[in-house]
Amino acid sequence: MSINILFAAQADRWTQYEAHLRRALDETGLDYAIDTEMPPEEVDYIVYAPNSDVQDFRPYTRLKAVLNLWAGVEGITGNETLTVPLTRMVDKEGLTQGMVEWVTGHVLRHHLGMDAHIVNPDHAWDKTIPPLASERVVTILGLGALGSAVAGMLRHLGFTLRGWARSQKALDGVACHAGEDGLDAALSGAEIVVLLLPDTSDTRDVINARTLALLAPGAVIVNPGRGPLIDEADLIAALDSGQLSHATLDVFRTEPLPQDHPFWAHPKVTVTPHIASETRPPSASRVIAENIRRSEAGEPLLYVVDRDAGY
């Protein structure tokens, strides 16, 4: 029997994804139909973005799984009408690679002090030599699909690395810390902190006045994770006092960042418009098709969300 797949994301996404999804699904050998509209009671799988019109899953009576196109799932984990397995996107070739590149670029910018030479109106001949990566302590909060890949690249460059996750990790060349008790050890004396945590009730405001005070004076925050990880007022106070020298922020509590938000005009803040990384249709489509193949074959799904943990 043919399986029915509903694509429920914003309209322009269908244009980007349709051919790639069809190609990846064809390769599974499954008999399928995929479209942006079909009777709810006939749908087996939903390829999903949390900003789609589908918010009530109750009419989807034969639904087997919801396959999220995004890595972040905070927009759906609380949806009580969803009672079937939910998977999140781990797209190693696209999303993960893009994040590795974005974080590496921004970490190197701050590590090497590039700004002083890119904007140098006084033509200062300042021969301050940057330290080597091995002399720079970088802490990554979140060692999941993205954080561990970023750690791998920064390790390759030679940085002195620390990491923090909910469960204890063992990564070559990374001093790994875990749980509430491990946070202070991960942050104490850190010079560059990269946030790659999900937005959950446990991670909200993890960067606050107390944790900012643990960092090395003049530290830098790089946040491609989620806006609510940072207490904004505490961040601005730390930038103004000099405890932080810069914050590079890609994600915000409200997006687009409102025009009158103080981050836009702050001289020590770089705003990027949630472009750190994105799911790429060719590789993400293969991940979606593989999960549908697994489900139909009775094999365990990849990247299932723990709804209780919220990620």
Measured CA to CA, the distance from residue 40 to residue 43 in angstroms comes to 5
Interface residue with ligand NAP, options 13, 166, 177, 246 (CB under 6 A): 166
Tracing tokens 């690249």 back to the chain, one arrives at 153
Least Cβ distance, residue 112 to ligand NAP (angstroms): 23
Sign of CA dihedral 75, 77, 81, 83: positive
> Does 202 contact ligand NAP by CB under 6 A?
yes
- One-letter amino acid for residue 84 of the chain: V
Q: Which stretch binds ligand NAP (CB under 6 A): 239-247, 254-262, 269-277, 293-301?
A: 269-277
**E strand or H helix that includes residue 184:** helix 179-187
**Least separation in angstroms between CB 226 and ligand NAP:** 4
Site for ligand NAP in 97-156 (CB under 6 A): 142-147
Q: Is 245 helix (H, G, I), strand (E, B) or coil?
A: strand
Active-site residue, 274 included: yes
The distance of closest approach from Cβ of residue 95 to ligand NAP in the complex, given in angstroms and rounded to an integer, is: 6
Cα–Cα dist 56/81, whole Å: 6
Give the other-Cβ count within 10 Å of 10's Cβ.
10
Which CB sits closer to ligand NAP, 163 or 246? Answer: 163
Q: Chain centroid to CA 88: how far?
A: 11
Other C-beta atoms closer than 10 Å to the C-beta of 311 total 20
- The residue from 13, 106, 162, 226 that is catalytic is 226
With respect to ligand NAP, which residue has the nearer C-beta, 215 or 276?
A: 276
Of 213-221, 241-249, 273-281, 283-291, which part binds ligand NAP (CB under 6 A)? 273-281
Place of tokens 């806006």: 227
Could you list the residues that contact ligand NAP (CB under 6 A)?
Answer: 71-72, 90, 95, 142-147, 164-167, 196-200, 202-203, 224-226, 250-251, 274, 276-277, 311
